[in-house]
Structure 1
Amino acid sequence: MEKIDFSKIATKYEELATVQKSASEVLLKLLKIRDNDDVLDLGCGTGHLTRKIRSLTNGKVVGIDPSEGMIREAVEKSKGINITYEVKGAEDMDYEESFDVIFCNSALQWFKDPEKAIKNCYRALRKNGRIGIQAPAKKIYCPNFIEAIEIVKRAEKTKDTFAHFKEPWFFLETAEEYRLLCEKCGFKVVFSKIETMTTEQTPEQVFKIFSSGAIAGYLNQDYYDVKLTDEYISAFKEIVKKAFEWQSDEKGMVKLKFNRIFLIGVKE
């Protein structure tokens, strides 16, 4: 049995990551990438947004991601396009004043050492360069997902194993906390706001969105101190699917809510 991680879901990511895409459009508008900016896409995944960035600037465009599977997919999908991709995590970056813009969409929550990563971003930017961050925020980052996981915690088939799960994510509760973190790393924060974004989705679509990111944490052997079994994984998925069905209204639609931080920082 193979563990689930971002490399495994890479081939389906662009099809599934509808929430990330809609929020990313907000971030792009906030960043206002200019036609000569050199841009780093931090946590680029399969490069969907890296290719979008490429269309916005004549400067260099670099995408990095710690997942080899994601980068393989990005390279394949970007053939003939002038983009550089590297397998690299935010904590491992060693760029020195190399970029005008850092675009960080739906990645901050996965950083193991957020302060080190943001300091690396500060070093990577030139003077007056800017970073744009969009990520799930608050422990209750998605009430729909949390409600489903509460059922997993109590269900007979999953409760014993789930008790050994250790959350891998990094969340802060307020826009002020995100601002202070970035200011501690040297940035002048010019915009910081947590918004609740709501869309209407079918239960099947909600499960696909769940599978585009969160499941890579919840069903990852690295975050358990007991061995995951096929039975547990199967029961987990079935419970979560049922939970999303129970959340649907009389029209069969789920109001899917995400709390998201949008932040713009400048290197003065």
Structure 2
Amino acid sequence: MSKIDFSKIAKEYDEYATVQKSASKILLELLKIGDSEDVLDLGCGTGQLTRKIRALTSGKVVGIDPSEGMIREAIEKSKGLDIVYEVKSAEEMDYEENFDVIFCNSVFQWFRDPEKAIRNCYRALKKNGRIGIQAPARKVYCPNFVEAIEMVRGDGRTKRTFAHFREPWFFLETEEEYKHLFEKHRFKVVFSKIETITTEHTPEEVFRIFSSGAIAGYLNQDYYGVKLTDEYISAFKEIVKKAFEQQAEDGVVKLRFNRIFLVAVKRGKKEG
């Protein structure tokens, strides 16, 4: 995963990451975790979904995330539940045939080296083990967010600084592209579909959802060629909030996300 620090938003993540939770239910249904399977929650955040996984299986449950803040929260909230948490990225993990299932919910887009992450996942799975991902897909991953960012791009207060922004995310445009990426690394893809998921929220709720994930990229100094100022950050937030207010009809915003749902099975001998 990229070096994005979610520690600052860790305490609010469980409350505001409603889009991730909704989509996670679909992913859990697709994976059908067995009652004794060993599971890795890849990009576990504060462990909200790791704890759900713990309730589904008597097997080993491990959660990893590159954010120390997220892992601290996860450990605190999971006391007594027999879950192992580690500060580790997908690109760093070195498991060897340890898991029946890898659960990867709403984090695949953050991987700085997706192909290395997939190779590591292949090695981490037991024979016939499976990985399930759900993540934002397509460059217009969320029309609401993209529209708001276009306002940032054109506003006199922010356009000069924003011109130096370089997107940190990894998106593919089609189901076939995602399928090919996994099959390239010896997985057999058994399900791959991009869905548009629509939920309804107040403008304030949409901004909180935006702040639970996307903002960690858009306001990250690592992805700008110039220094971010307090004035820029304040104006950025103000513009985005205003955009969501303008998107509302009768006080309600229809928030749309394009999301990839994919399940792949490890086939053949483990990679060397």
- Quickly name the TM-score band, shorter chain normalised: over 0.9
* Residues 5-84 of structure 1: pairs in structure 2 closer than 5 A: 5-84=5-84
Letter in 1 for 2:142: C
* Residues 114-263 of structure 1: pairs in structure 2 closer than 5 A: 114-249=114-249, 251-263=250-262
Task: Give aligned pairs, total.
Answer: 264
SS of residue paired to 1:245 = helix
Gaps of 5+ in 2: 268-272
Q: Deviations over 1:78-116 (max 9, x none)?
A: 111100000000000100000000000001000000000
CA distance in 2, matches of 1:5, 1:46: 13
The residue aligned with 2:270 is none
Deviation, structure 1 residue 186 = 1.2
Deviation, structure 1 residue 5 = 3.5
Deviation, structure 1 residue 38 = 0.1
CA distance in 2, matches of 1:5, 1:205: 22
SS of residue paired to 2:56 = coil
Q: Deviations over 1:193-236 (max 9, x none)?
A: 00000011100010000000000000000111111011100000
Letter in 1 for 2:134: Q
* Contact 1:5–1:217 under 8 Å retained in 2: no
CA distance in 2, matches of 1:59, 1:262: 24
| Structure 1 residue ranges, 4+ long, deviating more than 3 angstroms after superposition | none
SS of residue paired to 2:225 = coil
CA distance in 2, matches of 1:5, 1:203: 25
* Contact 1:140–1:146 under 8 Å retained in 2: yes
Deviation, structure 1 residue 185 = 1.1
The residue aligned with 2:108 is 108
CA distance in 2, matches of 1:233, 1:241: 12
CA distance in 2, matches of 1:7, 1:226: 23
SS of residue paired to 2:104 = strand
CA distance in 1, matches of 2:30, 2:89: 24
Deviation, structure 1 residue 25 = 0.3
SS of residue paired to 2:95 = coil
Letter in 2 for 1:193: K
CA distance in 2, matches of 1:116, 1:188: 17
Aligned Cα RMSD in Å?
A: 0.7
SS of residue paired to 1:127 = strand
Letter in 1 for 2:15: E
SS of residue paired to 1:180 = helix
TM-score by length of 2: 0.96
Q: Deviations over 1:166-187 (max 9, x none)?
A: 1000000000000000001110
CA distance in 1, matches of 2:240, 2:81: 39
Q: Deviations over 1:214-259 (max 9, x none)?
A: 000000001111110111000000000000000001x210010000
| Percent identity of paired positions between Structure 1 and Structure 2 | 79
